[in-house]
Amino acid sequence: GAGVSQSPRYKVAKRGQDVALRCDPISGHVSLFWYQQALGQGPEFLTYFQNEAQLDKSGLPSDRFFAERPEGSVSTLKIQRTQQEDSAVYLCASSGQLRTGRGKLFFGSGTQLSVL
């Protein structure tokens, strides 16, 4: 596709439910990032993939958060046993460069997660 695509656009979950958020990066982009954006704040880094390898997951807030990119293209962010503090917009970004220092990130429109 022409840009980064994320689905679903909106997700409402009851506390304790598991959710899966999907990201389709720009075709051919080797780097993929997940960010979490709370209302009124800047995006916060969650995790980074280079192709299928998850090279940095230092931003994942707890072991309830899990991300994968098994074939080096589509990525899924899974949140288990959702809690109200997980409510946020989850942004996916991709880059054609191996490191962010050599290229800009292209962001999707995000998935807005609301945990009730």
| Cα dist from 57 to 47, 53, 63, 93, whole Å | 4, 11, 11, 15
Using the minimum distance from each CB to another protein, give the nearer residue, 34 or 79: 34
Using the minimum distance from each CB to another protein, give the nearer residue, 79 or 91: 91
User: What is the CA angle 57-21-56, rounded to 5?
Assistant: 10
- Residue 34 tokens read as 């997940």
CB of 11 to another protein, least distance (A): 15
> What amino acid is encoded at 115 in this protein?
V
Using the minimum distance from each CB to another protein, give the nearer residue, 59 or 72: 59
Using the minimum distance from each CB to another protein, give the nearer residue, 79 or 105: 105
CB of 31 to another protein, least distance (A): 9
Name the site residues for another protein (rule: CB under 8 A).
4, 33, 35, 38-45, 48, 55-56, 59, 91, 93, 99-101, 104-110
Closest CA to 69 of 46, 85, 86, 89: 46
